[in-house]
């Protein structure tokens, strides 16, 4: 029995040490960035918390949002003040709790929600979710996100670094054995928007894979409806116009597959919400906003040039689609 307890104790000690090493490798840089005031989520939330009721338009969504919608273009075109609260891998559940936190400090006229099938699939990037939520001022919102939003899996990932950083450790192992070109560090940010000068290479274009569809994504329709309804009710209760966008993909990638799963699903889904504007920017006024592969930095993120077009699409939507 004593021998068994010793094995258990050694096992627990090793487990604790492994998690401590993981924290040092993956979380220490984040703490340093916060200390140096270079952490992007920290800076975004500072702007929201310290500029009460300043922003007329708030953007929510994933990295496809924060690389696509430029507040400088939006503000100039609409004579308003906007802010991009898109965060890496932000999914529909996270968007709802982010919105709750935002509305504690802002009273916007518009909420723009970027969504795609990856915003509600089976994979949740808990590190990015909790990085974002760690800057909520409301402890209640943090608790609700972890416990109500993601349940037992959320709690385990919140408490155990080995679980939370599992995907990043896999990527690091893969990178040891592969030679891949990485994008330049993200340096140019403006009001939550990342201005990227990278232009996708011909080699990367030739290796594009088809866009998300129900064949290659396990999209959770029930979770999407549940949390979109929460977002809808919250915006409605605050008298906010909700606009949902499907941001563009590189044209060469769209041509790889004739599937229309994503847009067809959204068109049907949002038709049930008469006071919500849904727009697929891949096809919104293509004669005016003509996208090229060179408007993207990779297989699904816009660069600065593409973001200017996308932001002008949003300006046109609000100006002309009876949303003002």
Residue 252, domain member (yes or no): yes
Say yes or no to pLDDT of 60 above 70.
yes
Residue 22 sits in the same domain as residue 93:
no
Residue 8 sits in the same domain as residue 66:
no
Residue 45 sits in the same domain as residue 8:
no
Measured CA to CA, the distance from residue 80 to residue 229 in angstroms comes to 27
- Residue reference for tokens 């915003």: 119
Q: What is residue 39's predicted lDDT score, i.e. its pLDDT?
A: 87
Residue 171, domain member (yes or no): no
More confident residue, 37 or 270: 270
Residue 273 sits in the same domain as residue 313:
yes
Residue 236 sits in the same domain as residue 301:
yes
Residue 281 sits in the same domain as residue 221:
yes
Domain tally, the chain = 2
Q: What is residue 15's predicted lDDT score, i.e. its pLDDT?
A: 47
For residue 122, what pLDDT band results from cuts at 50, 70 and 90?
Answer: confident
What sign has the CA pseudo-torsion 133, 139, 145, 147? positive
Across the chain, mean pLDDT equals 87
Distances (CA, A) of 255 to 210, 211, 284: 8, 9, 17
Estimate to the nearest angstrom the gap between the alpha carbon of 34 and the chain centroid: 20
Condensed to tens digits (0 to 9), the pLDDT of residues 176-225 reads: 555 555 555 456 899 999 999 999 999 999 999 999 999 888 999 999 99
Residue 202 sits in the same domain as residue 295:
yes
Residue 8 sits in the same domain as residue 87:
no
Domain extent, residue 24, equals 1-38
At 280, which CATH number? 3.40.50.1110
Strand runs labelled E in the chain: 57-60, 82-84, 110-114, 189-190, 193-194, 241-246, 277-280
Condensed to tens digits (0 to 9), the pLDDT of residues 128-161 reads: 998 999 999 999 999 999 999 999 888 888 777 6
Residue 102, domain member (yes or no): yes
Residue 26 sits in the same domain as residue 47:
no
Q: Flag the least confident range among 26-35, 79-88, 93-102.
A: 26-35
Measured CA to CA, the distance from residue 7 to residue 4 in angstroms comes to 5
For the entire predicted model, the pTM comes to 0.88
Residue 29 sits in the same domain as residue 58:
no
Residue 117 sits in the same domain as residue 231:
yes
DSSP letter for each residue of 205-232: HHT--PPP-TTT----HHHHHHHHHHHH
Q: What number is the average pLDDT over the span 275-295?
A: 96
């Amino acid at each position: 029995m004593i021998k068994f307890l010793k094995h258990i104790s050694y096992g627990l000690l090793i487990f604790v040490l492994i998690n401590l090493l993981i924290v040092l490798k993956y979380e220490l840089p984040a703490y340093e960035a916060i200390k140096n005031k270079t952490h992007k989520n920290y800076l975004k939330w500072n702007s929201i918390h310290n500029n009460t009721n300043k922003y007329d338009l708030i953007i929510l969504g994933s990295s496809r949002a924060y690389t696509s919608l430029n507040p400088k273009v939006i503000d100039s075109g609409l004579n308003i003040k906007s802010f991009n609260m898109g965060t890496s891998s932000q999914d529909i559940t996270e968007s709802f709790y982010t919105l709750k936190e935002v509305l504690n400090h802002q009273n916007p006229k518009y909420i723009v929600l970027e969504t795609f099938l990856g915003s509600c699939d089976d994979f949740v990037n808990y590190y990015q979710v909790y990085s974002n939520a760690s800057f909520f001022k409301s402890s209640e919102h943090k608790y609700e996100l972890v416990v109500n939003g993601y349940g037992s899996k959320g709690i385990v990932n919140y408490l155990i670094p080995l679980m939370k950083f599992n995907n990043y450790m896999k990527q690091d192992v893969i990178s040891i054995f592969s030679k891949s070109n990485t994008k330049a560090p993200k340096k140019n940010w403006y009001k939550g928007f990342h201005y990227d000068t990278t232009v996708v290479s011909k080699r990367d274009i030739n290796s594009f894979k088809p866009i998300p569809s129900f064949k290659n994504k396990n999209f959770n329709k029930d979770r999407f409806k549940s949390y979109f309804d929460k977002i809808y009710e919250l915006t409605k209760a605050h008298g906010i116009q909700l606009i949902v966008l499907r941001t563009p993909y590189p044209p060469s990638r769209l041509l790889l597959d004739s599937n229309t799963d994503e847009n067809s699903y959204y068109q049907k889904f949002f038709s049930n919400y008469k006071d919500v504007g849904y727009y697929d920017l891949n096809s919104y006024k293509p004669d005016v906003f003509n996208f090229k592969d060179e408007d993207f930095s990779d297989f699904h993120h816009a660069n600065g040039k593409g973001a200017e077009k996308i932001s002008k699409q949003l300006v046109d939507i609000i100006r002309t689609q009876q949303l003002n």
